[in-house]
């Protein structure tokens, strides 16, 4: 009797072992895929507002990243009038700073996975700094916009380019789903919209948080005085 029970147990073990091994292998595969899948979903959510991922001029050769040294001398931004220089796709054309951020955030023109790794991205469908309309900038919540949730009404944000300096004041904080586009569309007023996804330990979040800022001061770079 005992022998029969022993044989029955051994048979069950032999039958169950392949299923257990298969489940373990699938678990390891899923763990390995969590990180890249999460990153892809996060990138997808961050760039939903910008349909232009690659500059048509560079479509054959791929993304061309251009890094610039942005003028940081406040004394050179002294003119009330100036010329706006439209950047090329993939170009670092602005630096963004505020008290809530520990470091200055580089802003690249256009939305691309590689650009999100090195800075914040401004939708190429939005307004260049200095032009009327909505300038929409997004970045990774785990990197350049990790402190975005610290911003509140009345906080000051400074954006510097090589043609002008633009001071914004936070008007309101916003929260919206990744499928909503009302905050990233063109506007009649001149504003700056910053946003990122919310932090979620279980993976990519479909919730976005951000701020809408009013343009309160503009100073252009005076090349003649700099000389």
Per-residue pLDDT of the chain (227 residues; tens, 9 = 90+): 545 555 555 655 556 666 676 667 665 555 444 444 444 444 444 444 444 344 444 444 478 999 999 998 888 898 988 999 999 999 999 999 999 999 999 999 999 999 999 999 999 999 999 999 999 999 999 999 999 999 999 999 999 999 999 999 999 999 999 899 999 999 999 999 999 999 876 666 789 999 999 999 999 997 554 44
Secondary structure class of 82 (helix, strand, coil): coil
- pTM for the structure as a whole: 0.74
How many helices and strands in the chain, by DSSP H and E? Answer: 3, 9
Alpha-helical (H) ranges within 55-119 are 113-118
Secondary structure class of 95 (helix, strand, coil): strand
């Amino acid at each position: 009797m005992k022998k029969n029970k022993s044989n029955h147990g051994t048979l069950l073990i032999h039958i169950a072992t392949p299923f257990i091994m298969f489940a373990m292998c699938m678990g390891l595969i899923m763990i390995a895929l969590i990180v890249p899948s999460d990153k892809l979903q996060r990138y997808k959510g961050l760039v939903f507002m910008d349909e232009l991922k690659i500059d048509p001029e560079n479509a054959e050769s791929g993304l061309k990243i251009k890094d610039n040294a942005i003028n940081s001398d406040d004394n050179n931004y002294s003119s009330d009038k100036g010329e706006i220089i439209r950047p090329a796709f993939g170009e670092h054309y602005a630096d963004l700073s505020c008290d809530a951020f520990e470091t200055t955030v580089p802003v690249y023109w256009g939305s691309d996975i590689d650009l999100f790794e090195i800075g914040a991205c401004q939708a190429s469908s939005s307004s260049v700094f200095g032009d009327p309309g909505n300038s929409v900038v997004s970045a990774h919540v785990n990197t350049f916009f990790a402190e975005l949730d610290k911003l509140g009404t009345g906080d000051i944000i400074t954006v510097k380019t090589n043609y002008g300096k633009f001071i914004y004041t936070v008007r309101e904080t916003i929260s919206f789903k990744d499928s909503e586009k009302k905050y990233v569309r063109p506007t009649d007023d001149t504003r700056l919209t910053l946003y990122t996804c919310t932090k979620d330990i279980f993976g990519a979040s479909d919730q976005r948080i951000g701020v809408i800022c009013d343009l309160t001061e503009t100073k252009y770079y005076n090349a003649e005085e700099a000389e």
